[in-house]
Copies of this chain bind each other. A is one copy, B any other.
Amino acid sequence: MSLDPVLARIDSDLEAATDRLLDLLRIPSISTDPAFKAECDRAADWLVADLQSLGAEASKRPTSGHPMVVGHIDGPGPHLLFYGHYDVQPVDPLTLWDRDPFDPQIEDTPRGRVIRGRGSSDDKGQLMTFVEACRAWKAEHGELPCKITFFFEGEEESGSPSLIPFMKDNAAELTADIALICDTGLFDSRVPAITTMLRGLLGEEVCITGPDKDLHSGMYGGAAMNPIRVLARIIAALHDDTGRITVPGFYDGVPEIPDALKAQWDGLGFDASAFLGDVGLADPAGEQGRSALEMLWSRPTCEVNGISGGYEGDGFKTVLPSKASAKISFRLVGQQDPHALRESFRDHVRSMVPADCKVEFKGHGASPASVMSTDHPAFEAARQALSDEWPDAAAYVGCGGSIPIAGYFKNLLDMDAMLIGFGKDDDQIHSPNEKYDLESFHKGIRSWARVLAAVS
């Protein structure tokens, strides 16, 4: 089966493909807001119908939350599972949108044509790149070069409560040779990327109690322990002067990245000054002796996401507060064990709390890092296919964020996952005026058509 006519058909069908995407974007499938439950259901129905229109056997599958969509197209060659999500983030503050977020349109901008609307990039537009690639193959050749399972979730933006149970209950149906995930980005507009490292996440809330009530700082100050002072000392001690994190055992399981990958990263020409300059900073703030890209992609972090205590309003109040609290999160890499680190962190904090104070912890998310082995031949095949489509060669990259689904495929279904996406840094996902470049959509479809050929 020849690739060229498939690519030609994608080019000629682009306007129709875009119209289909706009149609899907009009459905306000906000998963976290119960008011939009019926709309999530409608988006699932739309996808079932669309998959059926290109010849897939597809159905909406109920869960205790929003439904999953599962579809199959038989074919020769390897079996690929494709994952995407049809739910979107809330749109508030609505006043910051330049147009109705669910009345999408194509806009001409100084940086090129874009598809504007909630979900255009995250993740409906990305999801449809794969669907459209399959449609073109099927239309041109009457069949696909490989066997495909489509797996669409409707709860990705609201914590995926049904995902693990559904994967366990349907393990046989969802197991394939490899999983493809389209929820990441290009390295830049010239360099496509396969994301092979995602950081994990551990969240902890720490509350220090000193006196059992708020006190007058004149009447008690000096003699009574101030919990903000205790908390500040704890936070200050979480990093040493070289930027390393001091929790005992924290670096257990943190690997040095292989030389070959490091050389590839160095070759990307990542502009740390521009990256930090965009947000008003100049100096990489992490471990001394590491590049900014290493800090982001391959090194663990400890960040304080919030802190609170005492009087926070306008003016001044000379209170000596009873309580102070902080939300602290760790991005994890390699084989770091979030559960072991949670205990080690708590012990470490307890060791710094004076006898006169109490500490309470509240645990939040705990997910390990995902490090994809690129040994599966699909990785090199896909990298070549992407390099053929885009101006420069594709790179294996890391990602500072966390996408738990990649780990679930590995741990629950024993499948490697390959993360390929076409989003750009300025897509404003989760923010007002989300967009997806028309180039991302068009070349994204062509990229998947090439990947299907390459891995088959």
Interfacial residues, chain A to chain B (CB-CB below 8 A)? 199, 201, 203, 205, 210-213, 215-226, 228-229, 231-233, 235-239, 272, 275-276, 279-287, 292, 295-296, 299-301, 303-312, 315-321, 324, 326-327, 329, 331, 354-356, 364-365, 399-402
Contact = CB atoms under 8 A, between A and B. Distances in A.
A272 B311 contact: no
A304 B228 contact: yes
A269 B72 CA distance: 85
B309 A321 contact: no
Nearest to A297: B222
Contact of A306 (B205, B275, B309): B309
A231 B286 CA distance: 16
A318 B310 contact: no
Nearest to A275: B223
Contacts of A324: 307
Determine the main DSSP class of A at the interface with B: mixed
Given A219-B400, A223-B275, A316-B329, A309 B307 contact: yes
Contacts of A317: 305-306, 327
A286 B222 contact: yes
B226 A285 contact: yes
Q: Which of A224, A286, A356: most chain B Cβ within 10 A? A: A224
A331 B217 contact: yes
A315 B225 CA distance: 27
Given A217-B301, A296-B220, A283 B355 contact: yes
Contacts of A319: 305-306
Leading 3 A-B pairs by shortest Cβ distance: A212-B280, A218-B401, A306-B310
Given A236-B237, A305-B320, 5 more contacts: A217-B329, A222-B285, A235-B236, A308-B308, A318-B329
Contact of A279 (B213, B282, B309): B213
Contacts of A318: 201, 203, 303, 305, 329
B331 A218 contact: yes
Given A217-B329, A219-B401, A364-B316, A304 B226 contact: yes
A221 to B, nearest CB: 4
B312 A211 contact: no
Contacts of A281: 210-211, 224-225, 356
Q: Which of A213, A316, A321: most chain B Cβ within 10 A? A: A316
